[in-house]
Structure 1
Amino acid sequence: MRVGRPVKALPQPLCDYCGAHAVLTRAGDQAYPYREDHGPVWLCASCQAWIGVLARSTRNIPLGRLADAQLRDAKSRLHDTLEPLVAGKVRRDRVNAFEARARAIRWVSTELGFDPLPPNIHALSLDQCQQAIQYVETFIANRRNASGSGGV
Structure 2
Amino acid sequence: MRVGRPIPAPVRPVCDDCGNIAQLAQTGDSAYPYLEDHGPVWICVPCQAWIGVRPRSRQHAPLGRLANAELRDAKKRLHDALEPLVAAKMRRDGANPFEARGKAIKWLASELNFTLSTPSVHALTREQCEQAIRYVADFQAARQRSSKHAPDAGRKKDASGDGL
Category of TM-score, reference length = shorter chain? over 0.9
What secondary structure is seen at the aligned counterpart in 1 of 2:56? coil
1:117 maps to 116
Q: SS state of the match for residue 50, structure 2?
A: strand
8 Å contact from structure 1 (residues 26, 39) kept in 2: yes
User: Is the Cα contact below 8 Å between 2:77 and 2:133 reproduced in 1?
Assistant: yes
Q: Is the 8 A contact 1:44 1:50 kept in 2?
A: yes
For residues 141 and 26 of structure 1, the distance between their equivalents in structure 2, rounded to whole angstroms, comes to 42
Deviations 1:55-88 (A, max 9, x none): 1111100000001000000000000000000000
CA distance in 2, matches of 1:51, 1:23: 11
Per-residue deviation, residues 85-138 of structure 1 (Å, max 9, x unmatched): 000001111111101101101111111111x23511100001100000000001
Q: Which residue is equivalent to 1:31?
A: 31
Superposed CA RMSD? 1.3
- Distance in 2 (alpha carbons) for counterparts of 1:2 and 1:93: 48
**TM-score normalised over the length of structure 1:** 0.94
Cα distance in 2 for partners of 1:100, 1:60 equals: 26
More divergent stretch after superposition (79-88 vs 1-10): 1-10
Cα offset, 1:10, TM superposition: 1.0
1:142 aligns to what? 142
Equivalences for residues 2-151 of structure 1 within 5 A: 2-114=2-114, 116-119=115-118, 120-151=120-151
- 2:116·2:123 contact (CA, 8 Å) conserved in 1? no
Deviation at 1:151?
2.2
1:81–1:137 CA contact under 8 A, matched in 2: yes
Identity %, equivalent residues: 59
CA distance in structure 1 between the aligned counterparts of 2:71 and 2:88, rounded to whole angstroms: 26
Deviation at 1:148, TM superposition (A): 1.9
Compute the TM-score of the two structures, normalised by the length of structure 2.
0.88
The 4+ residue runs of structure 1 with deviation greater than 4 A are none
With over 3 angstroms needed to count, the CA separation of the structure-2 counterparts of 1:140 and 1:118, relative to structure 1, is farther
Q: Is the 8 A contact 1:28 1:36 kept in 2?
A: no
- Cα deviations across residues 15-51 of structure 1 (Å, max 9, x unaligned)? 0110000000000001101133310000000110000
One-letter code aligned to 1:34? Y
Q: How many residues align?
A: 151
Q: Return the alpha-carbon distance in structure 1 between the equivalents of residues 85 and 23 of structure 2.
A: 36
